């Protein structure tokens, strides 16, 4: 079944209800690596309900399952997460009841045998309140090229500065990182089941891409922002290679006025795992 462009572009889901509490806020922070040292007074506020702080990338899990893509003709067995963008309209509360409105905002045809790019957008708002954030997700549907959609106009990635990084932060992951992170929503067996991972071509389970995304946010908060997550108003990345639980992710950081550019590498494998990163800061 091929993609029907008009049907795909008309897909939307409005008023989806979700909620989260301080438990989910702390669990997410633990899942991306905060709190390894329980005596670290700078990290404790991310994992302890006293003066609890929220990590901006928590936005990717508080309405897990929200989305507009359903019966669209996409071959989901061939889909990979290409990019994730986040725009914060205000800092996330530590707990909230939410409404999610999702829609497809673009689909581009790379050609027969070359795949398709599909972009969805989800607005999260507090029930009875204002909009909290907008999540934009790009998927690369490897098996769905040649459906007749537009060829040009797909979103362009952020360009990294043409100079050496201003700093690099090593962010360790644990061998059990994916087992902890998956409790925040994404229970795809690719991240937990060794037999499943081998069946789809990996030597062992891989870390969730959005866990690596959150790990990069942790590195920037701790390494460049003095542990103040409220400075972040946007967080955009392009996924480029998998991370295995236990890898150390090195986040290269470029600091400019209002923007932190970044990429993430696993030096042991000489692999760039996240590229074209852009962390927008409040004025």
Q: Are residues 120 and 235 in the same domain?
A: no
Residues 199 and 114 both lie in one domain: no
Same domain, 218 and 128: no
Q: Which of 191, 208, 247, 252 is catalytic?
A: 191
Domain boundary among 106, 141, 176: 141
Domain range spanning residue 48? 5-141
Residues 80 and 197 in one domain: no
Give which of 123, 70, 121 is closest to 98, Cα–Cα: 123
Pick from 141, 158, 189: which residue ends a domain? 141
Does residue 153 fall inside a structural domain? no
Q: Is 150 part of any domain?
A: no
Q: Are residues 77 and 31 in the same domain?
A: yes
In sequence order, which ranges of 144-192 are alpha helices (DSSP H)?
177-181
Asked, for residue 237, whether it belongs to a domain, the answer is: yes
Specify whether 170 is catalytic: no
- Whether residue 77 is contained in a domain is answered as yes
Contact assessment for residue 181 and residue 212, using Cβ atoms and an 8 Å cutoff:
no
Identify whether residues 81 and 137 lie together within a single domain: yes
pLDDT, one tens digit for every residue, the chain (283 residues) = 578 888 889 999 999 999 999 999 999 999 999 999 999 999 999 999 999 999 999 999 999 988 767 667 777 767 889 999 999 999 999 999 999 999 999 999 998 888 999 999 999 999 998 999 999 999 998 888 888 889 888 889 999 999 999 999 999 999 999 999 999 999 999 999 999 999 989 999 999 999 999 999 999 999 999 999 999 999 999 999 999 999 999 999 999 999 999 999 999 999 999 999 999 999 8
Q: For the segment 254-278, what is each residue's pLDDT rounded down to a tens digit?
A: 999 999 999 999 999 999 999 999 9
- CATH number for the domain including 230? 3.10.129.10
Task: For residues 98 and 199, give the distance between their C-alpha atoms in angstroms, rounded to a whole number.
Answer: 37
Residue 234 in domain:
yes
Q: Are residues 126 and 199 in the same domain?
A: no
Q: Are residues 42 and 128 in the same domain?
A: yes
Distance CA 179, CA 156 (A): 33
Same domain, 17 and 124: yes
Q: Give the active site residue among 101, 109, 144, 186.
A: 186
Please report whether residue 149 resides in a domain.
no
In degrees and rounded to multiples of 5, residue 83 shows phi and psi of -145, 155
Cα 264 to Cα 165: distance, rounded to the nearest angstrom = 12
223 and 173 assigned to the same domain? yes
Give the number of domains in the chain.
2
| Residues 30 and 132 placed together within one structural domain of the fold | yes
- Residue 157, in any domain of the structure: no
Mean confidence (pLDDT) of the chain: 94
CA pair distance 177, 111, nearest whole angstrom: 37
The answer to whether residues 262 and 175 belong to one domain is yes
Q: Is 186 a catalytic residue?
A: yes
For residue range 29-61, list pLDDT tens digits in order.
Answer: 999 999 999 999 999 999 999 999 999 999 999
Burial of 245 (0-12, 13-18, 19+ CB in 10 A): buried
Task: Tally Cβ neighbours within 10 Å of residue 135.
Answer: 21
Q: Is residue 151 part of a domain?
A: no
């Amino acid at each position: 079944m091929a993609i029907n462009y008009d049907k795909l572009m008309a897909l939307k889901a409005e008023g989806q209800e979700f909620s989260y509490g301080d438990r989910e806020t702390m669990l997410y922070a633990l899942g991306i690596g905060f709190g390894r040292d329980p005596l670290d007074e700078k990290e404790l506020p991310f994992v302890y309900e006293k003066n609890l702080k929220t990590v901006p990338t928590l936005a990717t899990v508080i309405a897990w399952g929200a989305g507009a893509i359903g019966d669209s003709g996409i071959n989901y067995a061939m889909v990979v997460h290409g990019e994730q963008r986040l725009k914060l309209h205000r800092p996330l509360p530590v707990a909230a009841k939410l409404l999610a409105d999702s829609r497809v905002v673009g689909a581009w045809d790379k050609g027969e045998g070359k795949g398709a790019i599909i972009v969805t957008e989800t607005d999260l708002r507090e029930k009875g309140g204002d909009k909290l954030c907008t999540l934009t997700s790009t998927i690369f549907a490897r098996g769905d090229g040649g459906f007749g959609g537009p060829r040009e106009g797909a979103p362009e990635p952020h360009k990294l500065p043409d100079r050496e990084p201003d700093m690099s932060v090593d962010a360790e992951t644990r061998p059990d990182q994916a087992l902890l992170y998956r409790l925040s929503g994404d229970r795809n067996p690719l991240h937990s089941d060794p037999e499943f991972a081998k069946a789809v071509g990996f030597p062992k389970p891989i870390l969730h891409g959005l866990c690596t995304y959150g790990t990069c946010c942790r590195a920037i908060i701790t390494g460049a922002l003095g542990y103040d997550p409220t400075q972040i108003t946007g967080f955009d990345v392009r996924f480029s290679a998998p991370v295995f639980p236990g890898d150390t992710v090195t986040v290269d950081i470029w600091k400019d006025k209002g923007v932190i550019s970044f990429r993430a590498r696993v030096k042991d494998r000489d692999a760039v795992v996240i590229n074209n990163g852009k962390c927008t800061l409040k004025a």
